[in-house]
Amino acid sequence: MSATKIFQSLRGRIAYTDTRNGERALIFMHGLPTSKEIWNPVLPYLPSDWRMIAFDLLDYGESEKINQPISQVERADMLDELRAHLKLDKFILVAHDLGSSVAIDYMGKYAQRVEKLVLMSPPVYPDFKEPSIVKLVRVQGLGEALVRLLKPILLKVGILQGMVHKQRLTFDLFNSIARGFEGNSGNAALLRILRWGSPFNIFKNYPTIIASIRVPTLVLQGQRDPYIPEDQVTRLRDTIPVCKLVFIEDGAHFLPMDTPQAVGREITQFIAA
């Protein structure tokens, strides 16, 4: 794992890691409620001659807590700032969970920058239903109390419910995620990201963007994912012209931690093809 670097974007300070090896560049984008460390279990199963960049979205991990809401489109703009900072003309975009929805917005504005696209456990259609734990935290007053009193439990339960191989959420891995939400500023950041908006409104343009995607796309879905319905991924497969859908039988939602070897194998085969 390379040392964390900081990039000052127009919207806040972005923490990222960069192996700097190889000509083929991959940018890894995590989802809710994790951080760039979610990719650490996968990296050993990818070719060492690839350049691999992982970053924390604003309000997550080691990136800045910005004290204001940020839209998925603004997050996509921030990703392109990072791309420009890294002097990448094109790259392979790998995204998980809510990072996949940011990836869809990125494709809507910057598709010419993406060589190939990998989406994992993606909530991307307007009819997606938020998990119950998210709905609870969205209740004003109740959410504040739950985060203040039970934050570590909420995080751990939410992640473990989305893993088959629960022992792979190690003490160090969980702490690296939880550290991003320490203190009052972390509480506020966690509330902001859990209250990101309704899929009906935020994802309303996604069907049109998805239909416009022309780059080779890989969709990875855990067969036992409790959060993402199967039809979210089958629609992607049936809409994107060059799209491969792979179900990981012994995986749930947090695939990079749950089934890292399988994820690494599928990404390697897809990119090498």
Residue-wise pLDDT for 226-249, tens only, equals 999 999 999 999 999 999 999 999
Coil, strand or helix: which one is 167?
helix
Closest among 223, 256, 224, 212 to 106, alpha carbons compared: 212
- Report the chain's mean pLDDT, rounded to a whole number: 95
Write phi, then psi, for 118 (nearest 5 degrees).
-125, 125
Instruction: Give Cα separations from 207 to 32, 83, 87, 146 (angstroms).
Output: 22, 25, 30, 34
pLDDT (0 to 100) of residue 2:
78
For 271, the enclosing helix (H) or strand (E) is helix 260-272
The answer, yes or no, to whether residue 20 has pLDDT greater than 80, is no
Is the pLDDT assigned to residue 164 strictly greater than 70?
A: yes
State residue 136's pLDDT score: 85
Structural domains in the chain, CATH included, are: 5-272 (3.40.50.1820)
Residue 200 above 80 pLDDT? yes
| pLDDT (0 to 100) of residue 1 | 59
pLDDT at position 242 is 97
Q: Calculate mean pLDDT across residues 27-51.
A: 96
What pLDDT does residue 67 have?
86
Q: How far apart are CA 245 and CA 14, in angstroms?
A: 31
Residue 114: which pLDDT band, with cuts at 50, 70 and 90? very high
- What is the percent of the chain with per-residue pLDDT over 70, rounded to a whole number? 100
CB 80 within 8 A of CB 179: no
Q: pTM of the full predicted structure?
A: 0.96
The mean pLDDT of 52-62, rounded to a whole number, is 97
Whether residue 23 has pLDDT greater than 80 = no
pLDDT tops 90 at residue 21: no
Backbone angles phi, psi at 134, to 5 degrees: -70, -40
How many angstroms separate the Cα of 40 from the Cα of each of 26, 179, 204, 263?
Answer: 14, 16, 33, 12
